[in-house]
Structure 1
Amino acid sequence: MAFNRMESATYLASLVARSLARALQERGQKLGFAPGQFPILLELWSEDGLTQKQLLDRLDIEQATMANTLARMERDGLILRRRHPSDRRSQQIFLTERAREMEAAAKEAAAAAEQSLFSGFRRFEKELMLEYMRMALANTARDGEAS
């Protein structure tokens, strides 16, 4: 039986992810952030001063990738690191004024990228797709815990 990639969820999901990342990159580049930084920014906009360990626990990112992304964000003036007041081994990560000021525009850029993905969808179709995506992610998380 021939493999039909257009019937493969893994293949289609990777195409959708790349397409969204590309759309966010085009918009985010103008603001000064990369798509891989966006989840970290979202967490810090929600709760500034998290440690790297807290970010790792909240986001599904490899330790090395997180370290490299934070280094780039620090270099680009998006974050500052400060020694944790009660745990000398860890550092807290804080947004710079520049990163705080870009929050609304960055979220608008992400919404525009998402809107391009859902162009032509009826509201219930978008809601169904999002629900199916959440269900699939829950399944993969459960499978990951089992292995």
Structure 2
Amino acid sequence: MDLEVLATPGHLITLAQRGFARLSEARLKPLGFGIGHLPVLVALREGVANTQRDLARFARTEQPPMAQMLARMERDGLIRRTPDPADRRSSRVALTETAEDRLPDAIAALLAGNREALAGFSDAEAAQFVAMLQRVIANLDQIAGAEPQAAGGRGGGAPADGA
């Protein structure tokens, strides 16, 4: 086996992502959130998306998984849907008071996890690391022909995506 492949950026980023996901899930579960909820909750709170289609685009996922997640989030009292007056086939999605109340604690937990994961990094090193990851993501998006990722959108960046 060629052990060199285990030291590639792709493999190391995958290992880091798995670690962040485990840490994030453990910290978010007591608040009634999953890691996949955070891009949706942040997008709704910030007003950057309020339909299933726009939320799927923001979270960089397909519509069927987004529909399933929104159904679970509605069942769990985190979002509410109302008919879209401009399009009868669509609904508007909004945060519930429960989600609004819990979201600051969730974001704080994720930011604390990020700080812990970057222990020993100077502020400048941490900023450089984030900038490098953003460049890698932009390169991957360009290779795949994907839409450029908004700063703070899913795919790694925002507090919504890492511990």
Contact 2:49–2:58 (Cα < 8 Å) also in 1: no
Q: Name the residue aligned to 1:127.
A: 127
Asked if the contact 1:49/1:92 (under 8 Å) is kept, the reply is no
Give how far 1:62 is off: 1.9
RMSD (Å) for aligned C-alpha atoms? 1.7
How many pairs are equivalent? 146
TM-superposed deviation, 1:48: 7.6
Q: Which amino acid aligns with 1:132?
A: M
Moved more, 35-44 or 57-66: 57-66
The 5 Å alignment of 1:56-95 reads 56-95=56-95
| Aligned residue type for 1:73 | M
State TM-score, norm by structure 2: 0.83
Quickly say closer, same or farther: Cα 1:59–1:48, change in 2 above 3 A: closer
| In structure 2, distance between residues paired with 1:65 and 1:28 | 20
Misfit runs of 4+, over 4 Å: none
Tell me the percent identity: 34
Q: Which runs of 5+ in 1 are unaligned?
A: none
CA positional deviation for 1:57: 2.1
Higher relative contact order (CA 8 A, sep 6+): 2
Alignment check: 8 A CA contact 2:81 2:92 kept: yes
- Deviation for aligned residue 1:75: 1.2
Secondary structure of the residue aligned to 2:82 is: strand
Amino acid across the alignment from 1:43: A
Indicate if the aligned counterparts of 1:79 and 1:94 stay in contact, CA closer than 8 A: yes
Identify the residue that residue 103 of structure 2 maps to in structure 1: 103
C-alpha separation in 2, matches of 1:18 and 1:75:
27
More helix by share: 1
